[in-house]
């Protein structure tokens, strides 16, 4: 994807829809993605895009995140065909294993024990589907180091119910559990929507963005 390519801010003659005038739809039920997208100060509506999130045999974490982001965007576009649909999917991977959303308290506890005190990767695929245009798709990765939290802290966090709608079973922004020691890369990617990448894809799809918006937060080692 290149901002100066055929899907930049400039619309081409004969295009069926001008993306700048189309409504923006976030194909996600995640409150965290709604909060992050609101930072771009664009009006949008949100809807749930239900897709099967199970990985295919042998599928990499990056391929999974990209495939699911594309599937969610397609589902959203089917419901709102005359729109610009934004979708994302976040995947956690550690030592070659993909971590989705835990389905039970025991699975959440197991994920958090396995991630404890070690480095893992968070990969988010983002897709923008503007009516009348091919989808734009990309992904970004952040390295995350977890702190050595205790079993008692894990138990209390799982008891709170927070892990069950989050890949890897944790929220980096949780102020009480504070599971993360440090990161390298994009912070908003770990929350669930990398704003630098999202902004670039929306711009490339022809969406007019406001100047001076907060787009991302990066951290080094």
CA-based nearest residue to 74, from 32, 27, 30: 27
SS3 93: strand
Cβ proximity of 216 and 190 under 8 Å: no
Q: Phi and psi of 193, rounded to 5°? A: -150, 100
Q: Is 8 left (phi over 0), alpha (psi -120 to 50) or beta?
A: beta
Q: Which residues of 25-37 are buried (b: 16+ CB within 10 A; e: fewer)?
A: bbbbebebbbebb
Contact 49, 72 (CB under 8 A): yes
Active-site residue, 52 included: no
Select which of 9, 89, 151, 165 is catalytic.
89
Q: Give the residue numbers marked as catalytic.
A: 89
């Amino acid at each position: 994807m290149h901002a100066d390519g055929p899907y930049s801010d400039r619309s081409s003659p004969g295009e069926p829809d001008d993306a700048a005038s189309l409504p923006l739809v976030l194909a996600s039920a995640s409150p965290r993605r709604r909060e992050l997208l609101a930072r771009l100060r664009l009006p949008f509506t949100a809807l749930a895009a239900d897709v099967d999130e199970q990985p295919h045999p042998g599928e990499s974490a990056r391929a999974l995140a990209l495939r699911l982001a594309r599937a969610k965007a397609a589902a959203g576009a089917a419901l709102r065909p005359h729109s610009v649909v934004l979708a994302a999917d976040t995947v956690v991977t550690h030592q070659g294993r993909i971590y989705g959303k835990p389905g039970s308290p025991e699975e959440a506890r197991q994920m958090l024990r396995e991630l404890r005190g070690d480095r893992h990767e968070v990969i988010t695929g983002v897709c923008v589907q503007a009516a009348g245009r091919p989808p734009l798709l990309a992904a970004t990765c952040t390295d995350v180091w977890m702190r050595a939290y205790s079993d008692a802290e894990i138990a209390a966090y799982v008891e709170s119910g927070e892990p069950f709608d989050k890949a890897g079973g944790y929220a980096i922004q949780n102020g009480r559990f504070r599971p993360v020691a440090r990161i390298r890369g994009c912070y908003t990617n770990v929350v669930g929507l990398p704003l630098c990448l999202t902004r670039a894809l929306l711009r490339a799809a022809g969406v007019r963005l406001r100047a001076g918006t907060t787009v991302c937060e990066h951290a080094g080692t």
